[in-house]
Amino acid sequence: MSFAKELQIKKDEIESFLNELSFDDIPEPLKSSVKYSLLDGGKRIRPIFLLECFRLFGGKLNGGVKKFACAIECVHIYSLIHDDLPCMDNDDFRRGKLTNHKVYGESIAVLAGDALLNLSYELIFDAIRLSGYDKNFVEAGKIFSDSIGGKGLIAGQALDITTVKDEMTSDKINYIYGHKTGDLIKAAMLAGAKIAGASNEEIKKISDYAEGFGFAFQIKDDLLDCKSGKIGANNDYVAVYGEKLAQKALNDNIDKAVEALSGLGRNTDFLKKIALKSAVRKQ
């Protein structure tokens, strides 16, 4: 099976989970706004990573894990809705479609993001309940919550929008990339591994992989923006360091990710392939 086909099968699995979610109790137009962004496709990389790490360590699919995967994607979509707002990145289009606030207005878009963030916690608590309050599910929930708050994803967003280019340092850009992009990727992978009962040593290797992949993934976005003429963001790695150093940092972090998988003694082919493919992706 080709990697593209394997990835599509995994993506379709996530789509099926998301389409099982009920939005019946959400009033309009909020319901339509939530569904507009959440069910709009996308790469679904984060929930795919959660399931891949869960299965890597012997986990068998169950309702709780499905809810965890959906929760991760809900947080990701919430962050995109808010990122696109005029007070943040002020984007009119995402994936070729009008952004949420351009369709439903800024107020509803803000609330749609809020609703998705809260839905993620509803799903996590459902997952923990379905597990019989299993310790690993509880610890995975803690990993998840730590990654998205004021010391995680939101911290990265805050520094992103308050730092001007002349004040950017290597420490700051590493912090922004590590939190705004990296934390949710790492949380997805660690949650999946933790639920499946991975050892501390195995968790450390997965964490190292996630850090390398997350940083490389964001740098690749910057390089793609550069090629399309969008270079110039305050915290853009290419704008700060130049295309040559950005490409080197991308390659170094992909190498870090792949190397972290050595010694696991498990079938990590998919994780290696997605890291290498991400380094050369076109979009």
- For the domain that residue 49 is a member of, what is the CATH number? 1.10.600.10
Is residue 125 within 8 Å of 104, Cβ to Cβ?
Answer: no
Name every residue whose Cβ is closer than 8 Å to that of residue 80 and which is 6 or more positions away in sequence: 37, 94
Token pair 């950005």 is at which residue?
246
Q: What is each CA distance from 75 to 147, 159, 173, 225, in whole angstroms?
A: 10, 19, 22, 24
Give the pLDDT confidence of 64-90 residue by residue, as tens digits.
999 999 999 999 999 999 999 999 989
Any domain includes 228: no
Task: Give the per-residue pLDDT at 4.
Answer: 92
231: confidence class by pLDDT, cuts 50, 70, 90:
low
Q: Report the interhelical angle of 183-195 vs 200-227 (nearest 10°).
A: 150
Is residue 177 in some structural domain?
yes
Is residue 178 in a domain? Answer: yes
- Beta carbons of 138 and 128 less than 8 angstroms apart: yes
222 or 115, which is more confident: 115
Q: How many domains does the chain have?
A: 1
What is the pTM (predicted TM-score) of this model?
A: 0.94
pLDDT at 229: 66
pLDDT tens readout for residues 147-156: 999 999 999 9
Phi, psi (rounded to 5 degrees) for 35: -70, -35
DSSP reduced 3-state for 94: strand
Which residues span the domain enclosing 34? 3-199
Domain-embedded: residue 205: no
Helix axes of 63-84 and 183-195: crossing angle, nearest 10 degrees: 170
> Could you give the CA distance from residue 225 to residue 241 in angstroms, rounded to a whole number?
14
